[in-house]
Amino acid sequence: MMAKKRKSRGRAKGGKGRSDFIHCSNCGALVPRDKAKKITTRMSLVEPSLAKELRQQGAYIAAPTLVKYYCVSCAVHFGVVKVRAKEERKSF
């Protein structure tokens, strides 16, 4: 029997069976949706100094949310997740 590295086995699905796959935003690898690391950022379409000026005049500036999914290796490479010590891995 193989050793169990993490309590969740690296997934967030619990006991719900099979989950759908998505592509990694960086390398394009197929990753289960519950295993991929999801990063949401708000992207400003207007320059910050101009946005401040427009906001003072009462304008609404839309900032769309940008959603990216990373596979575990790309998430580690970009610093999204850190490599944890052996004792910390099974904690949650």
| Three-state secondary structure call for residue 70 | strand
Answer whether residue 89 is part of any domain.
no
Question: What CATH code is carried by the domain that includes residue 54?
Answer: 3.30.1740.20
Q: How many structural domains does the chain have?
A: 1
Amino acid at 65: T
Check if the beta carbon of residue 39 is closer than 8 Å to that of residue 60: no
pTM of the model: 0.77
| pLDDT tens, residue by residue, 34-59 | 999 999 999 999 999 999 999 999 99
Answer whether residue 1 is part of any domain.
no
Helices within the chain (DSSP H only): 48-56, 72-77, 86-89
Answer whether residue 36 is part of any domain.
yes
* Model pLDDT, residue 8: 86
Closest CA to 30 of 19, 21, 18: 21
Answer whether residue 26 is part of any domain.
yes
Answer whether residue 60 is part of any domain.
yes
CA distance 35 to 9: 9
Its domain, for residue 76, covers 21-81
Mean of all residue pLDDT scores within the chain: 92
| Percentage of the chain exceeding pLDDT 90 | 72
Check if the beta carbon of residue 36 is closer than 8 Å to that of residue 70: yes
Answer whether residue 90 is part of any domain.
no
Average pLDDT over residues 4-23: 90
Distances 56 to 18, 20, 59, 74, 85 between C-alpha atoms, Å: 50, 45, 7, 40, 48
